[in-house]
Amino acid sequence: MPKSRSARIKPRPGAAVGTLLRGLNLESVLAIAMDRDGPFTRTEVIEATGLSAPTVGSLVSHLIRSGLLKDLGAGPSSGGRRPSCMEFNARHGFVAGIDLGPTKTRLAVADLQGERLAYRVVPTPPGLEPGELLSRVAIELQVLLREANVPQGRLLAVGAGAPGAVDRDRGVVSLAPNLKGWSEVPMGARLRRALGAPVVVENDVNLAVLGEHWRGAARGHGTCAFITLGTGIGAGIVVDHALHRGHHFLAGEIALMCMGPQFVEGDFGSRGCLETLAGLKTLAARWPHVAQRDPDQWVAELFEAAKQGDPQARKAVDEAATLIGIAAANLILVLDPSLVVLGGALVNQGEPLVREVRRIVARVVPGPSEVVVSTLGKEAPLWGCLLVAMNQAREELREGLRVAARGGVA
């Protein structure tokens, strides 16, 4: 039987190379557009890419038709022909953030430039198994997406934070001690099924340092750290503008830092580490006025009592501050960052604690790093969620161009 005509025709190598090259060029132009804060001209694209004017014109036209760029028309002239202006269409798609905490969950929706469009704080339902809890969170986010008028199918990526050890490559929360039953939980896969979009899962403190590095106190600092002091204690680390997770995803787990040789051979973990000696639960045990109130309330009262000279309150605060100061100094000596950001419940109300941490760091570290309080507060991890979601969404857009190019559509 003779072969069909289509089966006999072999693709021309030159055509395949040309299609691939066009896809790469589309990616390049889109990357330039996404990195710009405002409008730009075709001339600027030509200068940035080194491509010819006709090629850039064709690529830009394609991206405008695809909805990835917005044609702004002719801009002001400095003499001669008025330039054609355009900008990245940040509302071509949307991203979302989920900061899952032991008592509260923060949700947000943003465009592809990170402009936040909707925000909500909801109680984290207690006593639910992980799958049911994530289903509830997904429903809350879907409500927020509708409130933000995000069209069906236009959610491109979600960033999700969890208070524990995370295997980002698998999207699995290996262990979250402050969430009941959270061991080897496939958080990414479950949220993806519920929301219909790629989900990037990350440790909440890692997200906090990314948030501060992007929108907060650590902007412009290439190597920095974020230390959270609350229900749990932990650190997020950025080295040369990139998040450092470590070989076992344990970088920054200063909660486990051993605070004395007397603890090494004992029941280490349940006592003797930083979190068991200076965390919120330990302070609560030392302060008889906690009851079942919000930590922000009783922590504020604890620090006020210490300020007024209450011996029990002062002893509790001083011991915690000393241990945290030692831990911060040790972290600085290992990492040598230009900045350390402090956040969490103990910092929000505890200026005396912050002063003591600074004092100890200055005493221990030669040429100490600057120690500052978070400017994003409780929302630092949520901003980190939006950042990783935005980066993932932009990669999805680039991948879409690559797929289209391979199919000969671009």
For residue range 131-152, list pLDDT tens digits in order: 999 999 999 999 999 999 999 8
Q: For 94-205+386-396, which CATH superfamily applies? A: ATPase, nucleotide binding domain (3.30.420.40)
Per-residue confidence (pLDDT) for residue 9, from 0 to 100: 44
Question: Does 407 score more than 80 pLDDT?
Answer: no
Nearest-5° Cα angle at 200, 194 to 204: 110
Phi/psi at 242 (5° precision): -125, 140
Residue 63 contacts residue 398 (beta carbons within 8 Å): no
Residue 332 contacts residue 378 (beta carbons within 8 Å): no
217-374: same fold as 10-89?
no
Cα 130 from Cα 175, distance rounded (Å): 12
Question: Does 159 score more than 90 pLDDT?
Answer: yes
Per-residue confidence (pLDDT) for residue 291, from 0 to 100: 62
Phi/psi at 238 (5° precision): -115, 130
Overall average pLDDT of the 242-269 stretch: 83
Domain definitions of the chain by residue range: 10-89, 94-205+386-396, 217-374
pLDDT in tens, 288-314: 777 667 777 888 888 889 889 999 989
Residue 165 contacts residue 174 (beta carbons within 8 Å): yes
Question: Does 410 score more than 70 pLDDT?
Answer: no
Cα 389 from Cα 207, distance rounded (Å): 11
Please report which confidence band the pLDDT of residue 5 belongs to, taking 50, 70 and 90 as the band edges: very low
Per-residue confidence (pLDDT) for residue 57, from 0 to 100: 92
Lowest mean pLDDT among 165-174, 235-244, 277-286, 331-340: 277-286
> Would you give the distance in Å from CA 255 to the centre of its chain?
20
Cα 35 from Cα 37, distance rounded (Å): 7
pLDDT in tens, 40-84: 999 999 999 999 999 999 999 999 999 999 998 876 655 556 678
CA distances 63 to 13, 71, 90, 326, Å, are 25, 10, 13, 54
Provide the strand spans (E) within 240-395: 242-243, 339-343, 370-373
- Domain range 217-374, CATH class: alpha beta
Pick the CATH number of 10-89 from 3.20.20.60, 3.30.2130.10, 1.10.10.10, 3.40.50.720: 1.10.10.10
Per-residue confidence (pLDDT) for residue 391, from 0 to 100: 96
Per-residue confidence (pLDDT) for residue 58, from 0 to 100: 93
* Amino acid code (one letter) for 198: P
